[in-house]
Structure 1
Amino acid sequence: MAIPNHKLRAFEFPDGSYPQPFNVELDDSFLEMTLRKSFDIVAPDLPGFGLSPAPKQSGLGPRALARALDALMLQLGYEKYGIVTTDIGWFIGMWMVNEVKDSIIGHMTDFFIAPPTPGDRVLQAKGEASTEESAYIASYDSWFESHWAYATVHAQKPLALSQALGDSPVGLLGWYWDVNNSTSDGYEYSFEQLITDAMMLWIPGPYANCRAYLEFFKPDVMDFPPSRVPTGVSEWGWSKGPFSKIGDFAFAPMEWVKRTTNLVYFNKHDEGGHFPAICQPDLWVQDVRTFFGQLREAGA
């Protein structure tokens, strides 16, 4: 997504004790029928998104937010909880399972980046990588070579960009739509959905949310230590989108995911796009419930 927004973080608490995040744009009636029967839900806006004020000082990157969100959960009375993440919320989740691991009973995500190591690239060059690994590397490289410019601008020149976007709500919507369209696997967002999303970025002002990339994408943002927190990953294809070369970007090989996680649940969907909670809500909910159901059965 071009600009992270109010949908990125949420928590649900199974049986009133374990939070797990989900996408807050889902229809209330749908949530009532599916998730709210089993979970308490806490859905905080990240600072600078939606109705959450922008940070007043620098330094609020994913590691600091991991500790801040844990402090929030403790204030609300939840000493143990689960998390569900997507997009930039995933970076926070990956640091939560290290920085505040004693609070987390499980981490479910529908988004995972597994950068190829030098060794992986050597195997690919020798023709010894698997078909899945080769396809992922090709899409990974295509994404960062041809579709990552927006994030670079956000991270390096957030104020300059925001001065332009802040002058035109339509311009902000167009900027948001461009990457959203690239990653949505052909899903057609309604005008109402697009306008609502853009409005939730407009309320705090474009600079408030664009600047998050400056804080997030430091050189060490993905230096995640291996975690023992039970982790579930559901992957969703992008092959129906307008750019076929990034169709496998969301398909990080399972063995590569295991390098930094205690992977206990893995499900791969041929379609669904970058925000499957919107594009494939029934299947998305099924993955979330299955993962935390397994943890419950195991006595987590």
Structure 2
Amino acid sequence: MSTLSITRRELLAATVATGAVALLPALAFAADGDTSVRPFTVDISQADIDDLRQRIAHTRWPDVETVIDRSQGPQLADVRELVNYWGNDYDWRRAEAQLNALPQFMTTIDGVDVHFIHVRSRHPNALPLVISHGWPGSVFEQIKLIGPLNDPTAFGGRAEHAFDVVIPSLPGFGFSSQPKEAGWGLERIGQMFDVLMKRVGYTTYVAQGGDWGAGVVQAMAREAPQGLLGIHTNLPAAIPDEVGPALGGGPLPAGITAEEKASVLSLGNFLKQGNLTYVAMMTARPQGVSYGHADSPAGLAGWLLVHPGFEHWSYGKDASQSPTRDEVLDDFTLYWLTNSAASSARLYWENRGRSLTSASAQKTSEIALPVAITVFPDEVYQPPRTWAERAFSNLIYFHEADMGGHFAAWEYPELFAAELRAAFEPLRSAS
């Protein structure tokens, strides 16, 4: 190990131990030695697939809930039907083939092997774009975005709206390796993604993220690495500090508009129903909540389905709905096969005390780069434009979509791609 590596590791350990996470962006990335970009193919053993099915077959189910809705969590009948399908009829090889039909790669950055999909457009002057998923998402969330972004002419768009698309798996998620040390907060992941974009040959690019990906791209915008032109987010950190007490049932701040009041009341009611209690659990004890999820496929599925992004999902009963039952199980199976229940949950612990939706917690006042925002009606909250303008001094795009929720890219990929085309249009001349 080089002297630089030892010094950096010691500094990182001290930074994490003292809680001085603000210093993390200033840490230089160690030279890992191997900066190669290696082709990657998914190849899961049949033994692992058989083990999954056997565990499902031996599931011990809890008793039925005592209510007729989801207020106690995902309902037994729905989860049982989904998991039984998972164990008997679901085909991972189809999902594996879908991934292997795309250009996949692995590269080592800061000691972590980063898995990513990289699809270059056939159209000239395509705008490079890195897209970050969150929890409980994965690269499967964005696969259907690739076509509309990469080849817009096939979807009714124009060639000059094309993107080169890079979709990494977050550290500790999917086929990216699991960090062996603490300190993997938003800033460090943002630095990793900047290194990745430059390693694959881009000098300028844009970034998009929702859920934890929103936190990652906002961290990137705060740091403003050379070449990053701007960001788009569908979960912006736009809630002003004075709104906080009202979310807990306190008085509304003076001078609030009708639209702002509606956002406060909607989000306050959402929180009152306990919809984000899973956040508190993974933030406080990610290891503790993960033992059962690493051992039981049914336990893992039940936990992932707690996420409010699945509130309007029909468990595959509506065949026309996106994502389909198989597509959701692609995502769940990826978590299972890579044993990433604990490593993905640690992202909450790493960023404890830093609400993804709070402007001050995410230090949006430090962001000078262009920011674009799309608000979806079924997302966790709908920030009004007034909040977005206060949070981001260089807001270049703000649009309220007619449909879509937390997993909007999964649900309506062509709509989501159209949002990105419109959002980044002003930045193309600088690329």
Task: Choose from 414, 425, 428 the match for 1:282.
Answer: 414
Task: Choose from 138, 145, 159 the match for 2:265.
Answer: 138
Given that 2:129 and 2:166 are in contact with CA atoms closer than 8 Å, whether structure 1 keeps it comes out as yes
Task: Choose from 109, 116, 140 the match for 1:25.
Answer: 140
Matched, 1:258 2:389: yes
For the residues of structure 2 that align with 1:154 and 1:64, how far apart are their CA atoms? 20
Paired residue type of 1:159: Q
Given that 1:159 and 1:207 are in contact with CA atoms closer than 8 Å, whether structure 2 keeps it comes out as yes
Q: TM-score, normalised by structure 1?
A: 0.82
Aligned pairs (5 A) from 1:39-50:
39-50=163-174
Paired residue type of 1:31: I
For the residues of structure 2 that align with 1:225 and 1:137, how far apart are their CA atoms? 21
Task: Choose from 176, 183, 191 the match for 2:304.
Answer: 176
Given that 1:116 and 1:137 are in contact with CA atoms closer than 8 Å, whether structure 2 keeps it comes out as no
Paired residue type of 2:278: Y
Alpha-carbon distance, 1:26 to partner: 6.1
Given that 2:127 and 2:428 are in contact with CA atoms closer than 8 Å, whether structure 1 keeps it comes out as no
Paired residue type of 1:36: N
For the residues of structure 2 that align with 1:159 and 1:20, how far apart are their CA atoms? 29
For the residues of structure 2 that align with 1:162 and 1:99, how far apart are their CA atoms? 32
Task: Choose from 225, 228, 235 the match for 2:375.
Answer: 235
Further displaced range: 89-98 or 114-123: 114-123
Unaligned 5+ segments in structure 1 are 3-8, 239-246
Query: For 1:19, what is the secondary structure of its paired residue?
Result: strand
Alpha-carbon distance, 1:294 to partner: 2.5
Q: CA RMSD in A?
A: 3.1
Paired residue type of 1:211: R
Unaligned 5+ segments in structure 2 are 1-72, 74-115, 134-138, 152-161, 355-359
Aligned residue in 2 for 1:226:
366
For the residues of structure 2 that align with 1:157 and 1:27, how far apart are their CA atoms? 29
Alpha-carbon distance, 1:292 to partner: 1.8
Q: Which has the larger radius of gyration?
A: 2
Alpha-carbon distance, 1:256 to partner: 1.2
Q: TM-score, normalised by structure 2?
A: 0.59
Aligned residue in 1 for 2:43:
none
Given that 1:232 and 1:266 are in contact with CA atoms closer than 8 Å, whether structure 2 keeps it comes out as yes
Aligned residue in 2 for 1:167:
295
Matched, 1:157 2:285: yes
Alpha-carbon distance, 1:80 to partner: 1.3
Task: Choose from 199, 208, 221 the match for 1:84.
Answer: 208
Higher relative contact order (CA 8 A, sep 6+): 1
Aligned residue in 2 for 1:242:
none
Alpha-carbon distance, 1:105 to partner: 0.7
Given that 1:70 and 1:100 are in contact with CA atoms closer than 8 Å, whether structure 2 keeps it comes out as no
Assess, with a 3 A threshold, how the Cα gap between structure 1 residues 294 and 82 changes in structure 2: closer, same or farther. same
Given that 2:243 and 2:252 are in contact with CA atoms closer than 8 Å, whether structure 1 keeps it comes out as no
1:101-132 deviations in whole A, cap 9, x for unaligned? Answer: 43211211222232232278689636742121
Given that 1:230 and 1:264 are in contact with CA atoms closer than 8 Å, whether structure 2 keeps it comes out as yes
Count of aligned pairs: 283
Alpha-carbon distance, 1:223 to partner: 2.9
Aligned residue in 1 for 2:325:
191
Query: For 1:266, what is the secondary structure of its paired residue?
Result: strand
